[in-house]
């Protein structure tokens, strides 16, 4: 399917395709890219389209403006929300579920404030590359609530129980240096190099067989969810699958013929 299947006109995000890497920008800079219901719905739609688009091989998410990746869910929208309305949002599938379901590599380019649901969004991604100016925090406790976008489950898996409890219970904001030290982000780079480095990593990934990349991502991500024995069986199934692929044939042939492979994503 050619990108986009249908014109994607959005009000709160920007989507652009850069040589098979799609850049999704949360675009409410005057509100520090706070994630309104509309913004979340638009990101969900964009991710669903991009995951189907054969020209898109990786996705990068970032925030508009100089200050924020995103300052989290839009607090103004919490004011009147009822428990049933919240439950219905879970029933329809959240932004974090949509990120989790993306089959292609998805990288968070953390260009500033990354708080609450914003951190939950970044943690639902596969990789987190942060500017040295970024500050991060699981800050929901500051407004009398708790993480509701997967933070209580993903944070401990990334930083360990102690760090997760410290960040969740204090609502503290930490700098990028501490974030990379505890494993919350994968790399910290000077702010001016953030986009270059993020796209450098994404470009390396998209040079490989798209099918092998998707299967490798599925196998590695399963390790966070499955007991070891089940995870090993799952990996074996995906390995058997990739051994039947045209890309495996091409990859082996290209190696033997000492040339660059031409992937077909089959």
Binding-site member from 63, 149, 210, 251 for ligand COO (CB under 6 A): 149
Q: Is 49 in the site for ligand COO (CB under 6 A)?
A: no
Residues touching ligand COO, count (CB under 6 A):
20
Query: Which residue number, 144 or 227, has a Cβ lying nearer to ligand COO?
Result: 144
166 CB burial (10 A radius; 0-12, 13-18, 19+):
middle
**Residues assigned a catalytic role:** 120, 140
Indicate which single residue of 26, 39, 50, 71 sits in contact with ligand COO (rule: CB under 6 A): 71
**Residue 128 binds to ligand COO (criterion: CB under 6 A):** no
Compute the distance between CA of residue 65 and CA of residue 25 in angstroms, rounded to an integer.
Answer: 10
Q: 8 or 75: whose CB is closer to ligand COO?
A: 75
Q: How far is it, in rounded angstroms, from Cα 235 to Cα 90?
A: 30
According to DSSP H, which parts of the chain are helical?
A: 37-52, 83-92, 95-101, 117-124, 151-159, 161-170, 176-182, 194-206, 210-222, 228-243, 246-256
Task: Tell which one of 54, 76, 101, 239 touches ligand COO (CB under 6 A).
Answer: 76
- 107: which strand partners? 60, 127
Residue number, 109 or 213, with CB nearest to ligand COO: 109
Interaction site with ligand COO (CB under 6 A): 31-32, 34, 71-76, 113, 115-117, 139-140, 142-143, 147-149
């Amino acid at each position: 399917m050619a990108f986009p299947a249908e014109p994607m006109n959005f009000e709160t995000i920007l989507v652009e395709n850069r040589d098979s890497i799609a850049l999704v920008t949360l675009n409410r800079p005057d509100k520090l890219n706070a994630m309104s219901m509309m913004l979340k719905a638009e990101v969900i739609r964009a991710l669903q389209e991009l995951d189907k688009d054969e020209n898109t091989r990786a996705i990068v998410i970032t925030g508009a403006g100089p200050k924020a990746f995103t300052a989290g869910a839009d607090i103004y929208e919490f004011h009147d929300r009822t428990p049933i309305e919240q439950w219905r949002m879970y029933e329809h599938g959240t932004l974090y579920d949509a990120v989790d379901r993306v089959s292609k590599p998805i990288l968070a380019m953390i260009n500033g404030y990354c708080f609450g649901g914003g951190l939950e969004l970044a943690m639902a991604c596969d990789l987190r590359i942060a500017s040295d100016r970024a500050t991060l925090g699981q800050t929901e406790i500051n407004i009398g609530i708790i993480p509701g976008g997967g933070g209580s489950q993903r944070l401990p898996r990334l930083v360990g129980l102690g760090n997760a409890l410290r960040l969740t219970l204090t609502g503290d904001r930490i700098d990028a240096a501490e974030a990379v030290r505890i494993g919350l982000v994968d790399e910290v780079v000077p702010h001016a190099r953030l986009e270059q480095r993020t796209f450098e990593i994404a470009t390396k990934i998209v040079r490989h067989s798209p099918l092998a990349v998707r299967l490798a991502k599925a196998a590695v991500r399963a390790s966070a969810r499955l007991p070891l024995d089940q995870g090993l069986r799952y990996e074996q199934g995906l390995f058997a699958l990739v051994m039947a692929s045209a890309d495996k044939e091409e990859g082996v042939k290209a190696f033997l013929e000492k040339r660059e492979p031409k992937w077909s994503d089959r």
